[in-house]
Structure 1
Amino acid sequence: MSLLSVENLHASLGRRTVLNGISFHVGEGEFVGLIGPNGAGKSTLLRAALGLIAAQGKVTIAGQDVAAMTARERARRIAYLPQEREIGWPVSVETVVSLGRAPHRPAFAGLDATDRAQIEEAIRRMELEAFRHRTATELSGGEKARVLIARALAQDAPLLLADEPTAGLDPSHQIASMRLFAELAGEGRGVVASLHDLSLAARWCTRLILLNKGAIIADGTPGEVLTRERLRAVYGVEAHLSEAAGGMLVVPLDMAAR
């Protein structure tokens, strides 16, 4: 089943074209990494797919046109983790995570047993038990990132869109987060994450979409997408590609000769 379908998507910021005819589909069980250099259009693509910015083309979520969905309906189907890591109110970590349940209950309604179970599971998966009563605004940037991932998990949506979810995390928590996203895909959900770390993307994603200048350059398995020639042409780097511990390694070595 297609959880997300994007067809011929175009978007501009001011007079600059950012997305130019993007089309792809995401199905159940896929962990898709959006990769590409700065300014390639990754964040704009995620926001356009959610209907957060004006775009031309068609986006459907589980077969339903995103433009016809209310914000609550959209939030029940897609959890979104934006690139920004700001938490605006000095409330507890547990309270921030509980906000992920808002699409599933009437305004001002209390939490029920299902809500509490989802919140507890999200806190456990992000290893936040020791932080649950801490004031979220007092946490480090990496800790806030984990709290916001937990909030998205508590939403319990079939599709997760995440914009640079590993930014600001230490290596251990980067790996833990990627492992978690892979587990979510293994449970039948869909995950789309924009990523800059090519080794993390190659080792954990089932599929990569390489963007450059607002267009899809390649779409396939990590081994199909990440070739030395593409890395040279798109990123302008020479890279070492190898296999280790059952996964692909991508190590940029130097700038490519011009």
Structure 2
Amino acid sequence: MTLLSGSDLHVSLGGKEVLHGLTFEVAAGEFVGLIGPNGAGKSTLLRAILGLVPSQGRVAIGGGDSTTMSAMERARHLAYLPQEREIAWPVSVEMLVSLGRAPHRPAFAALTHEDKVIIEQAMRRMEVEAFRDRPATQLSGGEKARVLIARALAQDAPLLLADEPAAGLDPSHQIALMRTFSGLAGEGRAVIASMHDLGLAARWCTRLILIDKGMIVMDGPPRQVLTQEVLRGVYGVETYLGEAQGAFVVQPLDVVGGASAVPNDGASA
């Protein structure tokens, strides 16, 4: 089942075209890593899908034309975690996470039992239930990130868009987040996450869309996308590609031509 599709998607910002005719589909059960260098257009693509920047072309969400959807209807189909981690109001952590249920109930309506169960599950998944009563503005950067992810999970939408969700998290919580996203895909939902950590993308994503200069360069399984040739050409880096515990390992080593760059050591690409 296709949860999201884009056809010939163009975006111009400040008079300059930054996305050049992107076409793609995302199906239920996929964990898609959106990768590419800084300025490639990853965040712009996510914002175009959400209707936050003007675009040309067609975006369909859950089979329906996104331009005909109200903001509330769109929020029931997809949740969004932006790059920004700022929290303006000193509400409690639990209250902030509960805002994820807003698309599913009338304004000012009390939380239902189902709402409370989903909120609790989201906080438990992100390990923030221990400080549920603390003002969210008093949290560390990593804690804020986990709380905002929990809010997105509480939205319980079939599709989750996340812009650099692992930024600011320590390795343990990065891995826990990847497990959560993988679990959501396993439940029949879909996740699209903009990522700079190629190691996490290679290990956890079922599919990668590589964007460079506003165009899709590669789209496929991690082992197909993350090759030495592609990584040199797009990122300008020498990379170790290998295996560990049955998983694909990708570790950038140096810029192309750097003094400390080393060969692949026989690992398969």
1:26 aligns with 2:60: no
Which residue does 1:196 correspond to in 2?
A: 196
What's the TM-score once normalised by structure 1's chain length? 0.99
Which residue does 1:6 correspond to in 2?
A: 6
Task: Give the Cα separation in 2 of the matches to 1:10 and 1:163.
Answer: 19
Which residue does 1:226 correspond to in 2?
A: 226
Give the 5 Å matches for 1:208-227.
208-227=208-227
Report SS of the residue matched to 2:148: helix
Report SS of the residue matched to 2:52: coil
How far 1:225 moved relative to its partner? 0.2
Letter in 2 for 1:206: T
Q: Which runs of 5+ in 1 are unaligned?
A: none
Which stretch has the larger CA shift, 121-130 or 64-73?
Answer: 121-130
Which residue does 1:130 correspond to in 2?
A: 130
How far 1:154 moved relative to its partner? 0.4
1:47 aligns with 2:39: no
Report SS of the residue matched to 1:3: strand
Task: Give the Cα separation in 1 of the matches to 2:219 and 2:19.
Answer: 16
How far 1:139 moved relative to its partner? 0.3
What's the TM-score once normalised by structure 2's chain length? 0.95
Task: Give the Cα separation in 2 of the matches to 1:156 and 1:191.
Answer: 12
Task: Give the Cα separation in 1 of the matches to 2:136 and 2:193.
Answer: 24
Which residue does 1:254 correspond to in 2?
A: 254
Task: Give the Cα separation in 2 of the matches to 1:243 and 1:204.
Answer: 13
Aligned length: 258
Runs of 4+ that moved beyond 6 A: none
Which residue does 1:57 correspond to in 2?
A: 57
Letter in 1 for 2:218: A
Task: Give the Cα separation in 1 of the matches to 2:22 and 2:147.
Answer: 32
Letter in 2 for 1:15: G
Letter in 1 for 2:183: E
Task: Give the Cα separation in 2 of the matches to 1:246 and 1:149.
Answer: 28
Which residue does 2:156 correspond to in 1?
A: 156
Letter in 1 for 2:108: F
Which residue does 1:235 correspond to in 2?
A: 235
How far 1:257 moved relative to its partner? 2.9
Letter in 2 for 1:43: S
Query: What per-residue deviation string (whole Å, max 9, x for no partner) do you get for residues 45-104 of structure 1?
Result: 000011111000000011100010000000000000000001110010000000000000
Report SS of the residue matched to 1:111: coil
Give the 5 Å matches for 1:67-86.
67-86=67-86
Letter in 2 for 1:129: E
Task: Give the Cα separation in 1 of the matches to 2:47 and 2:246.
Answer: 34
Which residue does 1:142 correspond to in 2?
A: 142
Letter in 1 for 2:40: A
How far 1:240 moved relative to its partner? 0.8
Which residue does 2:170 correspond to in 1?
A: 170
Task: Give the Cα separation in 2 of the matches to 1:61 and 1:184.
Answer: 18
> What is the RMSD of the two structures over their aligned residues, measured on CA atoms?
0.8
Task: Give the Cα separation in 1 of the matches to 2:163 and 2:247.
Answer: 23
Which residue does 1:87 correspond to in 2?
A: 87
Which stretch has the larger CA shift, 120-129 or 36-45?
Answer: 120-129
